[in-house]
Amino acid sequence: MIQPPQIGLLVHSLAGRDTGEHYLVVGTMEPNIVLVANGLNRPLHSPKKKNLRHLQVHKSSSAELAEKIRNRLACDDEIARAIREMVDIMDHPGGEREGTEPDVKEERRY
């Protein structure tokens, strides 16, 4: 049996019309169905039902935001901001250099 993700986890949709969208888990319905919201086109008052097989789990949000979601005190702006920040961190992990160009250009010899 698949263990349902915890509330506040960042997930990425792998199937459906919303393929490629990022969401936060805001609730569970059945062992393999979760409720997700992104604060924009899927607000907290109207979350989307998603099968766990159609989601890729990334990482969790702050414990404070997860607690607000559990207690129904979070707002859509907080959800959208948290997703944006977590996706930016995933896309730009930092390090010594930011950028995708290598230092040395390889010269092809045929």
Q: Give the CATH number of the domain where residue 47 resides.
A: 2.30.30.30
pLDDT tens profile 45-100: 999 999 989 998 887 777 888 888 888 888 889 899 888 888 876 665 555 445 55
Greatest alpha-carbon span in the chain: 64
CB 47, CB 28: distance < 8 Å: no
Strand partners, 33: 30, 51
Structure tokens of 98? 């930011």
Residue 40 lies in domain:
9-91
Phi and psi torsions of 73, nearest 5°: -110, -5
Strand partners, 34: 28, 50
Number of domains in the chain: 1
What pTM was computed for the model? 0.73
pLDDT tens profile 11-58: 999 988 888 889 999 998 888 899 999 988 889 899 999 998 999 888
CB 82, CB 65: distance < 8 Å: yes
> Is 104 within the bounds of a domain?
no
